[in-house]
Amino acid sequence: MENQRQNTVTSRSRLAQVSQAGIFLAVLLAVQLVGLPNPVTGTIVNALLLFVLLRLGARYALMLGILSPIGGIVSGHLPAPLYPVLPVIMTGNLLMLAGYFILQRFPAPVRYSAPALAKALLIWGAGSMIVSFLKLGDKVQWLFMPVATIQFFTAAIGMFVGEKFYNAVSQHDKAAAGN
């Protein structure tokens, strides 16, 4: 009987996590559709990704990290010439989240800048190689340095904001629980 009750609690907990992940996916896509400037949108998206990592765990954060660049296409934040590098941007999100997860006990400058730098370098390097391989030429190649720079700053600031938001929500949850 106790085992059945425990399974019911576990099922409800999983359902709550999946529901929250779905809500965060909707928020993430809505933020991209609002039409804010790319640096603002990127910062909010990265903050949401980190918040989901800390709040719901790696499974849901990685899922959103893969899906978020598709929202960039739908919303127009990702220019059409960069569509071939969509998998690179997805991988950059995953690398950023993994880097933060590994470095989360390190001082703030390290845990924000190292994953952001890894993401930006991956997008710049792999993106440049894909453009060269597809022979898209200099018309697209020049885009990668500004894109990588924006990715670095939006990732670093977004991780900072996401962590602060998580800490504030966690404090609120503790206060509401009476701890």
pLDDT tens, 71-94?
888 888 777 777 878 888 899 999
Question: Which residues in the chain come in under a pLDDT of 50?
Answer: none
At 140 the pLDDT is 65
End-to-end CA distance of the chain: 30
Range of the domain at 24: 2-177
The CATH number of residue 64's host domain is: 1.10.1760
**Domain count for the chain:** 1
Q: Please write down the HEC assignment for all residues of 76-112.
A: CCCCHHHHHHHHHHHHHHHHHHHHHHHHCCCCHHHHH
CA distances from 173 to 26, 27, 48, 71, 166 (A): 23, 21, 18, 30, 10
| Count of C-beta atoms within a 10 Å radius of residue 103 | 15
**Both tokens assigned to 95:** 């690398």
Task: Give dist(CA 127, CA 121) in Å, integer.
Answer: 9
Q: Model pTM?
A: 0.87
